[in-house]
Amino acid sequence: MQELLGKKVADEIKNYCLDFTGKYNGILPALAILRVGDRPEDLSYERSIKKRFLDYGLEAKDYSLPENVSNEEFQEVFDFINNDDEIHGIIIMRPLPKQINEQEMLRKFNPDKDLDGITDQNAAGVMRGDTTAFAPCTAQAVVEILKGYNIEMAGKKAVIIGRSMVVGKPLSMLLMKENATVTVCHSKTENLKEIASKADILVAAVGKAKMISGGYVKEDATVIDVGINMTEDGHLVGDCDWDQVVLKAGAVTPVPGGVGIVTTAVLAKHLVEASKRQMHLETPDDQKDEYVSEN
């Protein structure tokens, strides 16, 4: 059984970012992290972005607002970072509190700064197979891991458990673009275990600690565990029951140390791509779509 370590893939992305800042000495791609309130998971993600971006030679500035901030004040801060030429990308910690009008924000969000692919323009681009659209970082991270470990996707049966807009749905499009045959499952799927156990590539994005037991896994399958769950005794575990899954799978991502670290690295890669675009540093090759579906 091969352990698919996120660090290997993240290090390749780090080199890509360092190459960019080395080549364009004097350009410092800058990310704005917009956070409302102090949710521990948001603070932890923010810390890991800042730490990694420092290593990657990129800047991450935080814009934190109190939980009870008014919609008007929130939109003002958003407008500022969305229009500031020295900010090349934005990540917003979501969900936002109820008083914030997310649709108002999304309507004006510059898609070239939308590094986590939450605007309709980027979602549509991902659906078309347009490689210049920003896909949500976690969904993209799954594909980067598979590519980074040379795991064949074309013609393979991929089963994704979870259909959220941040993971399952965009990932189904990205895997389809890689010519996998994709099945998306959710809480109403019947015979889930049977469907999952036919997959060459099984992606668990459920949010239920250790739900995926050995019975869900085909012999020698590749299993990507997106889940991040905190146990009662304070341990971080995935959606897969590691002890069981490793007995069946050919390759598995650990939690922690798998998808999470690559997600932050993809955010960094997206920031570099956004900076190139905004500073008109793209070469024709960078802009070229590898494949845009005509269907």
Cα distance between residue 88 and residue 82, in whole Å: 9
Cα distance between residue 14 and residue 238, in whole Å: 25
Residue 67: how many CB atoms within 10 A of its CB?
A: 10
Specify the residue, 119 or 138, whose C-beta has the smaller distance to ligand NDP. 138
Cα distance between residue 170 and residue 174, in whole Å: 6
Taking residues 247 to 276 in sequence order and writing x for each that binds ligand NDP by CB under 6 A, - otherwise, the string is ------------xx--x-------------
Integer angstrom CA distances of residue 124 from 20, 109, 160, 293: 28, 15, 20, 12
CB of 216 to ligand NDP, least distance (A): 10
Pick out residues in 155-194 that bind ligand NDP (CB under 6 A): 161-164, 166-168, 185-189, 192
Q: Encoding tokens for residue 181?
A: 């045959």
To which H or E segment does residue 159 belong?
strand 157-161
| Total residues at interface with ligand NDP (CB under 6 A) | 25
DSSP letter (8 states) at residue 114: B
CB of 229 to ligand NDP, least distance (A): 6
Q: Are 234 and 193 in contact (CB under 8 A)?
A: no
CB of 149 to ligand NDP, least distance (A): 17
CB of 263 to ligand NDP, least distance (A): 4
Q: Are 31 and 90 in contact (CB under 8 A)?
A: yes
- Is 196 a binding residue for ligand NDP by CB under 6 A? The answer is no
Specify the residue, 69 or 139, whose C-beta has the smaller distance to ligand NDP. 139
CB of 287 to ligand NDP, least distance (A): 28
- Binding ligand NDP (rule: CB under 6 A), the pick from 5, 17, 33, 226 is 226
Q: Which residues bind ligand NDP (CB under 6 A)?
A: 138, 161-164, 166-168, 185-189, 192, 205-208, 226-229, 259-260, 263
